[in-house]
Amino acid sequence: MKFYQKVIWFFNVLTVFATIFSYLSPYIHPAKTCFFAVFGLAFPWLFFANIAFILFWALNKPIYTLLSIICLAVGINYVDKFFGTHGIQDDQPNQHQINISTFNMQFAKSVIHIKDKAQKKKKMDEYKTYLKRFQEVDVFCGQESGHSAGQMITSALDFKHIHKLKEKSTAIYSKHPIIAQGEIDFGTKVNSCVWADINVKGKVIRVYSAHLQSNRISGKESELIEAGKWEKKTFLGLRDMFGKYQKYTNTRAEQAQKIKEHAATSKVPYVICGDFNDPPQSYVYQKMAEDMNDSFRCAGSGIGTSFNGVIPALRIDYVLASADFDVYKHKIIKEGKYSDHFPIISTVALP
């Protein structure tokens, strides 16, 4: 084996170990160790890296492809958490079918921070036009939907029933009557979870809009990585980002536990929507998605990216329906740059 091939083989082995660590991430509570959580975050890139090694060795020494092939085969059941294989689905006529959306609106910062009045008005009008694509949505779950973003939702869309707490930024907007509502208190204003029992065409369902603990990535760190200059300060920025992720994933695990305990008391079918700030290959997702239908895994296609920021292929926004529901569609709206998240619209059928 030539020297450069030995180097590539060395990195191939490291990648396989990292991939195996990512497989363990969903099953180890971050309170015990956050070591595996970072590898879970990197799963999509590790997957593609293994594919690259397979292709390289196939052209050079085919026997060496077996390491990555076996590694990917072991984790084949995790792939559909990130890569959807469902095509465009035909409409399923059902009188109990509803559209549910989740969107972290980032407080409409892209609009409200514009100082020029004329430019701001133009941008606000564009944003309202953008929101019109949610006209067919029955229930809209907003995160970071502060006063300004909330006003734009109500002015652009016909949601007559709203559950939004004062000084909290998580909300539920509904076209159908809300007959009960409440909050799961996380002790913060930005990160919170609200719920509402909604009467949809004579059937009651419960909807949760959740925004789990943010990773608090600073604008400076994001700018370093987005610039693409791999200098010492860029790697320091990456280190800080991963350090914050490790720190706050334990907080999210505790918040996920609270939501699941509350949902377990529900006497009606329920849907948990929101920004979990954790990828599918994480303990938090594993906890939240247990015994649930993930709309992306049921009906999604392509790469399930929902974060519109500097980290590619990051899926952290979800619509999870209890087993009572059938899931028909999952759409990620990637047009427009109004938030650092992409909105999701899922179509589910009431039981």
CB 252 within 8 A of CB 278: yes
Q: Which of 288, 256, 241 is nearest to 41 (CA)?
A: 241
Would you state the pLDDT for residue 200? Answer: 92
| CA 88 from centroid of its chain's CA atoms | 21
CB 103 within 8 A of CB 344: yes
Domains of the chain, residue spans:
3-81, 97-349
Tokens, residue 98: 């509803």
- 97-349, CATH topology level: Deoxyribonuclease I; Chain A (3.60.10)
Would you state the pLDDT for residue 238? Answer: 62
Tokens, residue 265: 């008391």
> pTM of the prediction?
0.90
Range name among 98-112, 191-205, 227-241, 303-317 with the lowest pLDDT average: 227-241
Range name among 2-6, 14-18, 136-140 with the lowest pLDDT average: 2-6
Which alpha helices (H) appear in the chain, and where do they start and end? Answer: 3-24, 35-41, 43-60, 65-74, 109-112, 117-131, 147-156, 219-227, 232-263, 283-289, 295-299
- More confident call, 223 vs 141: 141
Phi, psi dihedral angles at 26 (to 5 degrees): -65, -15
Task: Please write the tens of the pLDDT for every residue from 178-204.
Answer: 999 999 999 888 899 999 999 998 899
Task: Please write the tens of the pLDDT for every residue from 222-270.
Answer: 554 555 554 555 555 566 666 777 778 999 999 999 999 999 999 999 9
